[in-house]
Every structure is written in structure tokens, then in C-alpha cells.
Amino acid sequence: MVGGGFSGTLLAVQLLRRGPSLSIAVVDKGQVPGRGLAYGTRYPCHLLNVPACNMSALPEEPDHFLQWAKANYGRTVQATTFLPRAVYGRYVGSLLEEATGHGCADRLQWIHGEVLSISHEQTGMEVQLADSSTLIAQTLVLSIGNFSPGNSNIPGLGANSMRYVRSLWSATAWRDIPKDGNVLLIGFGLTSIDLAVAIKSEGFAGHIHILSRHGLMPQALSGRRNGGRRQSRRTGTEMPVSIDLSLWVDRDYKEILNVNHRQLNILQQPLAIARHLGRDRRAFGGFGCEARRS
């Protein structure tokens, strides 16, 4: 298995349970099973977006995560609680520990490393690792998660620009943001919220501006059992950050940036865009209709 985040770890758990003759190797860039991108966060303010009652990793035991959380995190956890994602990572890791504890330890090999290439040979699938070692597998599973976002091709902002962070999901992505700086987030989904609450928890006291293509806030979740669309808004305590939505635009950001890219210095002068838009409202009909909601 290439990738031992959520999917890879859960598949390993199921294969250990159901395929007694299988021998499994999981190669992952991380050292600890089950974390991956979503559940490897170190920020307690990064919460699951699904309530505890709907996060069981075992379909045959729908309350499994809820019961685990009560026993291992806190008795006060309720079905509707949104728990930290890091806690969920521990839960997924514990499932693998449990599965290997049932006399299966010698059937699972956890390899900390990075897969560089895969080729189909007569002997099976040949997997080349970054440390130059090779594995041969009869069956290969790619459970490598999400790819990094593409480069936005914003003129003046190359991939190596100090003022442009292409992907938030690296350990150093927001290390250099000045504590009292001005940050412009392009796109207003859960990733933006993740960034906002994380830098806030690190003492960031500057301004966060968010540019939204559709002008919609991410929908808050009410924590109802049994699925369904959840529409209610988060309360202030669930989203402990005040966001200055100076930029609240119903347009594709590329369109906006292309108009004014010469004046633009992302992360330094986000208000330049707002000023520009303010001057030419006819070009951006959606601007202003929901502006400055905070």
C-alpha cells in the first residue's frame, strides 16, 4: 500500500481482519499510521467537520468512534460533538494497533519512506523508494490522498516567491507570516478556516482578508445525527476567530487579479484589490452586496 493515512490504514485494518493469508506492507511519508493530511494536524482548533456519532471507521459498528472517544478522550463527549481531528488520527492509529495485536503483527510491515516510482514487472509491481530500496508486491494500492493544489499562475508570483504560499499543507507553509501582517486568502472554504484559526492560535494579530469566488461562507454544521444537509451557522465559540471580510467578491479571483496584477502584491497589499474593485463596481457586479460581514 502506498500511503498510510486514513484510507491506507483502514484498508490495512480490514485486510488483517479478513485476509488471514495476506502479507501487507504500508509505505508512508509519515511515521505514525492513520494521520495523513487531515488527521495529522497538531492544532486542537482543527475540528472534524462531522459529529462524533457519524465518524465510526467501522461500518458494522456505527457508534464505535463515539464509544472510543468517551473512553479515550473524555466522558463528556456527546454524539453531536465535533472533536479535534488529531483525536481522530489517534483513533485510526489505535484500530491498526488493535488489528496487529490479534496475532497479526508479523503480517504487517510499516515502512517510513517515500515512493518515487512504480513499474509493472514480470515478478509483480516493483516499487522504488527514495532511499533506493525496492519492494515487490502482487497487488498494489495507491492511497496517497490529495495532491497539492496547482500553481495559480498569478503574474509576478512565482512558486518560490516569499509572499506567496501555494499550499497550506506543509509544515513550513505559514512559518514566515509576520504576526501583525496582512494575509489575503484566495478561496473561502474549510482550508481558509483552518488557516485562520491556526495562525490565530499562534498569536497572529494582523488582518486576514478572504477573497471568495461565490461570496458564500462555508456552511456551519449543527451536529445532527443521521446525516442530511446541515445548515445552521457556527457560533462564535466554535469558530474562535474574527475575520475581516474586506474582500467579498462574487467573481473568479483570477479575473480580478489579471485586471490589476501590476499593482498587486499578495500578502502585502490585499487592500489594493479592494480599492480597485471599489473604483469599478460595474465590472464586478457582485461586489458589495454581502461585503464586510464579520
Ligand X SMILES: Cc1cc2nc3c(=O)[nH]c(=O)nc-3n(C[C@H](O)[C@H](O)[C@H](O)COP(=O)(O)OP(=O)(O)OC[C@H]3O[C@@H](n4cnc5c(N)ncnc54)[C@H](O)[C@@H]3O)c2cc1C
Q: Which residues bind ligand X (CB under 6 A)?
A: 2-8, 27-30, 36-38, 48-50, 85, 114-115, 143-146, 194
Q: Which is nearer to ligand X, 38 or 243 (CB)?
A: 38
Least distance from ligand X to the Cβ atom of residue 4, Å: 6
Q: Residue 292 in contact with residue 246, Cβ under 8 Å?
A: yes
Q: Which of 179, 46, 25, 198 is nearest to 115 (CA)?
A: 25
Q: Which is nearer to ligand X, 110 or 164 (CB)?
A: 110
Q: Which is nearer to ligand X, 129 or 154 (CB)?
A: 129
Least distance from ligand X to the Cβ atom of residue 143, Å: 5
Angle between helices 253-260 and 271-279 (to 10 degrees): 90
Least distance from ligand X to the Cβ atom of residue 230, Å: 13
Q: Which is nearer to ligand X, 29 or 254 (CB)?
A: 29
**In this structure, how many other beta carbons lie within 10 angstroms of the beta carbon of residue 26?**
22
Q: Order the strands of the 115-121 sheet from edge to edge.
A: 115-121, 124-129, 134-137
Least distance from ligand X to the Cβ atom of residue 27, Å: 5
Taking the C-alpha atoms of residue 277 and residue 294, their distance in angstroms, rounded to an integer, is 19
Which residues, other chains included, contact 269 with Cβ-Cβ below 8 Å and sequence gap of 6+? 182, 263
